Amino acid sequence: MPLIDGSTDDLAEVARAARAWHDGTSLAGIRQAAPFVHLTGRFEVPDQDPARLAESEWQSMRLEAGELEYAWKDSYQALIETAHAEPALRVLYPFTSHWALRFSTTTRPCLTVVGPCLIADSDGTYVVGRDFTGDLGRFATAREAVAAAVYALPSGLGSVTLGA
């Protein structure tokens, strides 16, 4: 997962960013060395607390969803924001695969996938399934899809733990 990203036509700026990374410069320092760099907010958790890592990933996902330039941006952003607002999902570690929102009871690198897969479809509807098939339904709103996902969560999930 990227800790930084960005775009520039200036190869010298790219070289400055790469040199700073190579030299072990902090993420904020890389941003200072190469202003085109965008900090994603991922994994800036010094104590590796799993709950804070999950928060960090949610923050990054929400930021990314708000910056997308795809046709389904609005429905994808609504899905991410609605899922984040749901306490039962917010305590889990979120991740995406092929733009499908998934959840884990462990942080990266070794994810323990739990619960359903949520997809914001290109037609503005939302698909929920045990995998990418949508076998749990198609919904008109992100709120309905998230409610179906919460209902499909296994009971007794504990706090997120470090994936090792």
Could you read off the pLDDT of 77-121 as tens digits, one per residue?
999 999 999 999 999 999 998 789 999 999 988 999 999 999 999
Six-digit token string for 58 = 């949610």
Predicted confidence at residue 131, as pLDDT, reads 84
d(Cα 162, Cα 60) in Å, to the nearest integer? Answer: 18
Q: pTM value? A: 0.78
> From CA 58, how far away is CA 9, in angstroms rounded?
30
How far is it, in rounded angstroms, from Cα 130 to Cα 163?
22
Is 71 exposed, middle or buried (CB count within 10 Å of its CB: 0-12, 13-18, 19+)?
Answer: exposed
Per domain, the residue ranges of the chain are 4-39, 50-152
For 58-78, write each residue's pLDDT tens digit.
988 898 888 877 778 899 999
pLDDT value at 39 more than 80: no
Give percent above pLDDT 90 in the chain.
55
